[in-house]
Structure 1
Amino acid sequence: MSTVQTLAAAHAEVKAEIARTDTKTGLLLAFVGAVLAGSWTVAKDVHLTVPAYVVGGLGMGALVVAAGLLLRSVRPNLRGRHGFPLWATLTAEQISITLSEDRAADIAGLSRLAVAKFTGLRRAVDLTCTGGALLILAALLALGGAA
């Protein structure tokens, strides 16, 4: 495979990874929102003990922080040097020249973007698991306190 073909394949792979990460982020954001809404709906109608309130509040807080990380990871970066903002400032001829000369730099920039998105997603998954575990513990405390 020639260098041009290799660079084109690497560029496509990085862009596909960004798309996969954004898809996962969107699904997790919907899940976190549903868990937050469901937990709030249940908690407002149930008499909870103080420990259940505290643990449940920590769980809800973890989920809110996870949602914030997810939103931040899909936030458009309009100041970035690579991708759409760059192309929007160039003529068609300049785009061709830039792509032929700077494909490796574009791959590096997109790769850094992909890693940042993936890192935010990973942290949000960890917080979602922590928040879910805390909500389960709060539910157990509420059930144990009611008995």
Structure 2
Amino acid sequence: MSAPDTRTLLAAAHAEVKAEITRTDTKTALLLAFVGAVLAGAWTVARDLPMNRPAYVVGGLGMALLVAAAGLLLRSARPNVKGRHGFPLWATLTPEQINDAVSRDLAADIAGLSRLAVAKFTCLRRAVDVTCAGGALLILAALLAVGGAR
């Protein structure tokens, strides 16, 4: 069995980067739905609890963090149509230029798409951290409300 040539390795790396971007977008969509459900559920539960001042403050901070997490998730999902790699670049080229660019610049496309994937993962990671903090504050607010802290 012969060793794969450079073109085959580049094609595999390109496919891997595109798969990672797809994974990130899928995770972002699921987490955005989760955050929306938590926000709706917290709002519904808060209306039925006897809230006190500490519970309002902590719960408000928790809700604000969840809204911030939703913003981070939306930023991660926002399409980058001004990119210099993939379809945004190809939309500006003729078919002949696309052939030349793909055959010549696959490594550059991999690098650009990898930077995009890292940016998406970073934003997703921050959103998960903020979601956890917001959820913890909502749990604390519920405990404060039920415990009757004054």
- Match for 2:48: what amino acid? D
Number of residue pairs aligned between Structure 1 and Structure 2: 146
Indicate which of 30, 37, 42 corresponds to 1:39. Answer: 42
Q: Contact 2:62 / 2:133 at 8 angstroms: preserved in 1?
A: yes
Structure 2 match to 1:87: 90
2:23 is matched with which residue: 16, 20, 25?
Answer: 20
TM-score where L is the length of structure 1? 0.96
Q: Which runs of 5+ in 2 are unaligned?
A: none
Q: Secondary structure at the match of 1:89?
A: coil
TM-score (norm: length of structure 2): 0.94
Aligned residue type for 1:57:
G
80-89 or 52-61: which moved more? 80-89
Quote the Cα distance in structure 1 between the aligned partners of 2:75 and 2:146: 36
* Counterpart position of 2:52: 49
Alpha-carbon distance, 1:102 to partner: 0.5
1:45 Cα deviation after fit: 3.2
CA deviations on 1:72-108 (whole Å, 9 max, x unpaired) are 0110111111122111111222111100111010000
Over 4 Å off, 4+ runs: none
Tell me what 1:70 maps to.
73
- Displacement of 1:25 in angstroms is 0.5
- Tell me which of 120, 131, 135 is aligned to 1:132: 135
CA-atom RMSD in angstroms: 1.0
> What letter is aligned with 1:46?
L
Q: Which residue of 2 aligns with 1:30?
A: 33
| Residue matched to 2:12 | 9
User: Do structure 1's residue 97 and structure 2's residue 100 form an aligned pair?
Assistant: yes
Unaligned runs of 5+ in 1: none
Cα distance in 1 between the residues matched to 2:70 and 2:110:
28
Is contact 2:50-2:146 (8 Å) kept?
A: no
Secondary structure of the residue aligned to 2:93 is coil
Q: Does 1:110 align with 2:116?
A: no
Identity %: 79
